[in-house]
Structure 1
Amino acid sequence: MKLIKKGAEADIYETKWDKSHAILKIRKIKNYRNPHLDLKIRKQRTIKESQIMAQVKSFGIPAPLVYFVNLKKSSIMMQKIPGKPVHDLPDSKIIQCSIQIGKLVGTLHKNGIMHGDLTTSNFILSNGIIYVIDFGLSQNTIKSEDHAVDLRLIKEILNSAHARIFEKSWNNFLIGYKSIVGNAKFVKITNLVTNIEMRGRYATVV
């Protein structure tokens, strides 16, 4: 078992499950919390994440299979998706993939799922298919404000991590997103994104 990522909420290991390459995600104990409360929170989040991973697959989102959930250890054993994170692809490929990423996010939102951590590292290109990973912060919500927060985050990531291709990739993302959610929802969500940005700028100035 090999540690591949240490996160604030969980550690990620590469391992094997029944001879297949797998990922083991273990939620960390938070010593500042009451131990009973901490266990309850980690259990609930582990259950929620595994449920959402199964849920998104039911409406066509390519996502890892869940192999096993251990509530005592607050861990999830899941399929390892072979491929490259979109973050690490050449600029031209990121621009191209942005349309499909927009469609995937649109499909999540249309089905009442907020991803919660939309970064280009959480999309994996594998054999021509883009997979969505890391549903640790996801939640069931139909609130437009929550969906706007998702879009605001991916926009920030594109602007910071992929600044040279920001305009092309963001425009392609929006084309893909709109094709799924429709014009009315698209206008509502993008207007909310603008409002969030304006609030942020105002807070900075003040």
Structure 2
Amino acid sequence: MEKSVQPSERGAGDSSSASASASSSKAVEIPTVAQVIETQAKSASASGGSSVSGPPGSLPHPGFTLFKQGAEARLYRGTFLGKPTVLKERFSKKYRHPRLDEKLTTKRTQGEARTVARARKAGIPTPCIYFVNYQSNCIYMEDMQSATTSRDYIVAVQSIHAGDSFGALQPIMDKIGKTLATMHDGDIIHGDLTTSNIMLKQDATMPEPQVILIDFGLSSVSQLPEDKGVDLYVLEKAFLSTHPNTETLFRVILKSYTKHSRKAKDVIKKLDEVRLRGRKRTMVG
């Protein structure tokens, strides 16, 4: 004999199904830049801060802690003149002749400091330089607190909900394109554009995140559209290799760049030529 279903049972089942359906269709919240920064700060605090061991013979800096080792420089974090500071030490290369090494290292330290000053004068947000020691080739600069790399933010958004990432990241890409347009209109070539060298800053006092450019160690000054096109090509290759399947996001950067740069037409034309040369090199091997 078939069991009859009581109205109360039917109602309970329908209610449960409706609740599950509503829960599954609920949109995943996309984190803001400020939320990603807060999460990173809590993670660093829980782990006791991040630091790495320096190689034997590295120059000691009392009160500073080494937190990053690169191919060209070491980065330390500490306090200088009562302000949170990042100390960038450009070290010597043992494979180069000592006199040549000293000349190149000092020249690059001077060039980076001058380019940062030029960029700030042009209205490009960069860390403020407090002091440059040319004897030790050290640059003392502002520690960009309440900031994260655009690389980490893109990864954080995509890891939560890849389907909604374009809409969430589009405003950031637009800001990046505008900042790069300002930089190139000031005839500044970054030389090493990656999403790790483009930072996003936001705190409780900022309704929108701010784009900040860092690491001008390979920078130069040039009016040539060719150099600016190569700069964008370097970013494109780094962007797409770090963040696969994000061609639409990079197109937003170029669209914003074209909109805000006075010299965009010639630069984009050169970018297309550089792309073509790159494809030919890849085909030839």
Q: Do the structures match in fold with TM over 0.5?
A: yes
Q: Which amino acid aligns with 2:254?
A: L
Deviations 1:83-118 (A, max 9, x none): 111111124344321111111111111111001111
CA distance in 2: counterparts of 1:158 and 1:122, whole angstroms: 11
Give the match's secondary structure for 2:135: coil
Structure 1: 5+ residue stretches without partners? none
CA distance in 1: counterparts of 2:239 and 2:170, whole angstroms: 10
1:34-73 equivalences in 2 (<5 Å): 34-73=97-136
Q: How many residues align?
A: 203
Give the match's secondary structure for 2:79: strand
Q: Which amino acid aligns with 1:88?
A: D
| TM-superposed deviation, 1:42 | 0.9
| TM-superposed deviation, 1:134 | 0.6
Larger radius of gyration: 2
Partner of 2:30 in structure 1?
none
Structure 2: 5+ residue stretches without partners? 1-63, 159-164, 203-208
Partner of 1:201 in structure 2?
279
Does 2:219 match 1:138?
yes
TM-score between both structures, scaled by the size of structure 2: 0.68
Partner of 1:79 in structure 2?
142
| TM-superposed deviation, 1:19 | 2.5
Partner of 1:178 in structure 2?
258
1:49-128 equivalences in 2 (<5 Å): 49-82=112-145, 83-89=147-153, 90-91=157-158, 92=165, 93-127=168-202, 128=209
Q: Tell me if structure 2 keeps the 8 A contact 1:86–1:94.
A: no
CA distance in 2: counterparts of 1:162 and 1:37, whole angstroms: 38
| TM-superposed deviation, 1:148 | 0.6
CA distance in 1: counterparts of 2:115 and 2:133, whole angstroms: 16
Does 2:244 match 1:163?
yes
1:26 to 89, 111, 115: 89
CA distance in 2: counterparts of 1:103 and 1:114, whole angstroms: 15
| TM-superposed deviation, 1:203 | 2.0
TM-score between both structures, scaled by the size of structure 1: 0.93
Give the match's secondary structure for 2:246: helix
Cα RMSD between the aligned structures? 1.4
Give the match's secondary structure for 2:84: strand
CA distance in 2: counterparts of 1:132 and 1:94, whole angstroms: 18
Deviations 1:7-33 (A, max 9, x none): 111111112112321111111201122
